[in-house]
Amino acid sequence: MAPDRNTSERPFPPAPRAGNFSGTPLPRPVPQASNPNLSRQLGGVPTSALDENSSDPAIAPRYDPLADLRGQDSPLEGTAADRPRRGAIIQRLAQHWPIWSLAILAAVTGVGAISAISLFRIPNLPNCRAIFWPTAAATTRVQCAEAYADQDTLEGYLEAIALLDSLPPDHPLRGDIDLRIEEWSERILDLAETTFQAGDITEAIAIVRRIPDHTAAAEAVSDRVNEWNQIWQEAETIYAAATADLTALAFQDAFAKAIQLLSVGNTHWETVKYDELTASITAAREDLNQLGRAKELARKRTLTAMEEAIALARGIDSQSPVYGEAQKVIQEFGRDLLAMAETELDRRDVVAARQMLDAIPASLSMGNEIADMRTLIDASQLSWQGGVTGLEGGVVRLQSIGADRPLYGKAQALMRRWQAEIQGRSQLEWARQVALPGSIPDLQAAIIEAQQISRSNPAWEDTAAQIGRWQDTIETTEDRPLLNQAQQQAQVGDLAGAIATARQIASGRALYDEAQQDIKQWRDSLQRAEDGPVLAQARQLAAQGRLGEAVAVASRIGSGRALSGEAQTSIQGWRSQLQGQQQLQAAYQTAQVGTVSALAEAVRLAQQVPESSAQRAEATQALTRWSWDILRLAETESAVNLNRAIEIAEAVPAQTEAYAQAQLNLREWRSRMPSSGAFN
């Protein structure tokens, strides 16, 4: 068992690189006393180690302050001539004895303190770097070895072991030396373990390989190295798998593997590498979220949104696992901007198209596509100038895009379209020349020429519009005499004949809508002539008060005829009057009973007479009269039966003239009742 380190701990500084053992001088060795037997009493240290002839100046004999007192006169003694002077001096000193007493006391106290400190000082150590080891004592070796070992470094332990291991096996201190060597070997193994836990397996293995083979610690080296290699290989495998998952953006799987690092048995992998891996996962997640925000912005398909999206995607660091995906997305954004520029070009918004191209990052290496798109924009602007000349200028501009260019196919398709349009517009121009005389045969011939242009030709839209105008001219020329004839028949009163003539103009012809308007006007005139007497008869019956008969006569005018709207309006008014008469008649009949409830019901019926009814005014007068009748009955009854008077007054309907007076009477009568609270 290794000895307890506390029994040999001393304030030894670290071993020096050269010269003295450290920057601070080691304690000096025990001084040699005048007694020759003293060396045999110093813990078994051989006298040779303390010999005055030692080569180490650190252990040379010290100056003995007592030597001056042995066999020599005291400095206070002198010659006879000096004695009077000494007596005078002593006499003067005696006069100041208090001062000298304090001085002597201070000196004695100082000497005592120094003596106490000297008693507790640890014996000095030798200057280990200056010792000639072949002649050094074993205790000196032990002291220096412990000083080396106290540095707690690999080299210190190795120097300590080497210093003691050179002593012969049969040395009297061999047992203690072997225990120390075993202890220091174990500490070297601990240093290696610490180095391994700190993350340097190569250095850890190198450290344990330097443990002396004859120690017990050396027997554990092989197992310890195998254990380290197994732990390290497992940790590297887990880390590599997590890194692969992280590269594949499988964050959940990567984090699950990172958790496994916490139990591999190595502090470096469980802390530094685990933190490094989880930080990478977190950063990659944030980068992926940032890329997602960029994609979301790009879906808006606006210039500002695209610029912001590109800025977000380009902000992802090149060391991020998301960087590769970000570069792909940025490339897609560049393609999107190119497509958006093409869309704006189709809308003939040249400014917006150029802005889209300017927003494409130069790092995408899309310079050829951008240059070709600018050429397409320039060519399109030429083609929009109108006519064949502009189209031909656009074709010439597109010819600058060679077969090796990225937009060559699009340029060729556009050239073919414009060349076809040039042919179509040339054909249309020829047809217009044919139609110039303006006769029906000329117009028909022009239509035949124009119809030779393909409907897929870009010029077909203008061609179709021109053909339509020529066709309208032909139909107008053909149908105008027929419509004029119908209008002449209407002027002489032959409306039926005019309608028949105008109906000969077929649907879809140029004058069809005009003919239909005339036909509607003539038909309305006929229907008014037919239905006018019927409506007049109904109105006459209504004026006589025969409202039911008036409704029946007016209902003979059918829906959709010229006077049907007027007839229906009159019918609704007459029916409203009939309803008012019926309601008022019922009210009169009910009021004839004369009871309070009958009068109240009569008021209710009179209130239902429509506001639009002619009987509304009469109904208002009647219900006002009946409400006052109810109130008078209540006032008459109040002289006989106050409770009955209150019941009658409460029956006066609201929204009548008598209602307010009835409420005043009710308040007065209730106050006169013995238990008026029951009526509140």
In the structure, what pLDDT confidence band is assigned to residue 14 with cuts at 50, 70 and 90?
very low
**pTM of the predicted structure, to 2 decimals:** 0.49
Rounded to whole angstroms, how far apart are CA atoms 147 and 151?
7
Q: What is the pLDDT of residue 640?
A: 85
**Distance between first and last Cα of the chain:** 111
Return the closest-CA partner of residue 465 out of 485, 450, 444, 454.
450
**Count of CB atoms within 10 A of residue 319's CB?**
8
SS3 8: coil
Residue 255 and residue 221 in contact, taking contact as beta carbons nearer than 8 Å? no
Q: Which residue has the higher pLDDT, 182 or 547?
A: 182
In the structure, what pLDDT confidence band is assigned to residue 151 with cuts at 50, 70 and 90?
confident
Residue 459 and residue 421 in contact, taking contact as beta carbons nearer than 8 Å? yes
Residue 479 and residue 511 in contact, taking contact as beta carbons nearer than 8 Å? yes
The total number of residues shown for the chain amounts to 680
In the structure, what pLDDT confidence band is assigned to residue 131 with cuts at 50, 70 and 90?
confident
Q: What is the pLDDT of residue 347?
A: 92
Crossing angle for the helix pair 323-346 and 274-298, nearest 10 degrees? 10
Rounded to whole angstroms, how far apart are CA atoms 155 and 235?
30
In the structure, what pLDDT confidence band is assigned to residue 96 with cuts at 50, 70 and 90?
low
The pLDDT tens digits for 293-319 are 999 999 999 999 999 999 999 999 999
Exposed/middle/buried for 98, CB within 10 Å: 0-12, 13-18, 19+? Answer: exposed
Q: Which residue has the higher pLDDT, 108 or 251?
A: 251
Crossing angle for the helix pair 221-247 and 274-298, nearest 10 degrees? 0
Rounded to whole angstroms, how far apart are CA atoms 236 and 362?
40
Q: Taking residues 510-536, what's their average pLDDT?
A: 83
The pLDDT tens digits for 160-174 are 777 777 777 777 777
User: Is residue 670 predicted with pLDDT exceeding 90?
Assistant: no
- Annotated domain spans of the chain: 5-33+43-60+123-219, 284-428, 530-577, 578-679
The mean pLDDT of the chain is: 78
Instruction: Look up residue 507 and give its amino acid.
Output: S
Lowest mean pLDDT of 8-17, 209-218, 304-313, 339-348, name the range.
8-17
Q: What is the pLDDT of residue 241?
A: 95
Share of the chain above pLDDT 70, in %: 79
DSSP 8-state code for residue 461: H
User: Is residue 581 predicted with pLDDT exceeding 90?
Assistant: no
Q: Which residue has the higher pLDDT, 411 or 565?
A: 411
User: Is residue 212 predicted with pLDDT exceeding 60?
Assistant: yes
- CA 677 from centre of chain: 70
Q: What is the pLDDT of residue 95?
A: 58
Return the closest-CA partner of residue 42 out of 133, 136, 33, 126.
33
Residue 561 and residue 597 in contact, taking contact as beta carbons nearer than 8 Å? no
Q: What is the pLDDT of residue 154?
A: 81
Q: Taking residues 194-220, what's their average pLDDT?
A: 87
User: Is residue 35 predicted with pLDDT exceeding 80?
Assistant: no
Residue 453 and residue 428 in contact, taking contact as beta carbons nearer than 8 Å? yes
- CA 588 from centre of chain: 80
User: Is residue 125 predicted with pLDDT exceeding 60?
Assistant: no
Per-position DSSP letters for 199-242, written without gaps between them: T-HHHHHHHHTTS-TTSHHHHTHHHHHHHHHHHHHHHHHHHHHH
Q: Where are the alpha helices (DSSP H) in 451-591?
A: 460-491, 495-502, 512-543, 547-554, 564-591
Q: What is the pLDDT of residue 84?
A: 47
Residue 470 and residue 446 in contact, taking contact as beta carbons nearer than 8 Å? yes
Q: Which residue has the higher pLDDT, 506 or 92?
A: 506
Q: What is the pLDDT of residue 281?
A: 94
Rounded to whole angstroms, how far apart are CA atoms 306 and 594?
88
Residue 645 and residue 635 in contact, taking contact as beta carbons nearer than 8 Å? yes
Q: Where are the alpha helices (DSSP H) in 299-386?
A: 303-314, 323-346, 350-358, 367-383
Residue 287 and residue 320 in contact, taking contact as beta carbons nearer than 8 Å? yes
Q: Which residues contact 512 (CB under 8 A, 6 or more apart)?
A: 505, 506
In the structure, what pLDDT confidence band is assigned to residue 213 with cuts at 50, 70 and 90?
confident
The pLDDT tens digits for 71-89 are 333 333 444 444 444 455 4
Residue 139 and residue 176 in contact, taking contact as beta carbons nearer than 8 Å? no
Return the closest-CA partner of residue 281 out of 310, 309, 261, 266.
261
The pLDDT tens digits for 312-358 are 999 999 999 999 999 999 999 999 999 999 999 999 999 999 999 99
Q: Which residue has the higher pLDDT, 236 or 176?
A: 236
**Count of CB atoms within 10 A of residue 368's CB?**
13
Q: What is the pLDDT of residue 557?
A: 80
For the record, the structure tokens of 430 come out as 């020829």
Q: Taking residues 496-523, what's their average pLDDT?
A: 87
The pLDDT tens digits for 469-483 are 999 999 898 888 888
Q: What is the pLDDT of residue 304?
A: 95
For residue 109, the surrounding DSSP H or E stretch is helix 97-120
Residue 391 and residue 383 in contact, taking contact as beta carbons nearer than 8 Å? yes
**Sign of the Cα pseudo-torsion (528, 531, 533, 535, in order):** negative
User: Is residue 144 predicted with pLDDT exceeding 50?
Assistant: yes
User: Is residue 1 predicted with pLDDT exceeding 80?
Assistant: no
For the record, the structure tokens of 66 come out as 């007592």
Q: What is the pLDDT of residue 101?
A: 60
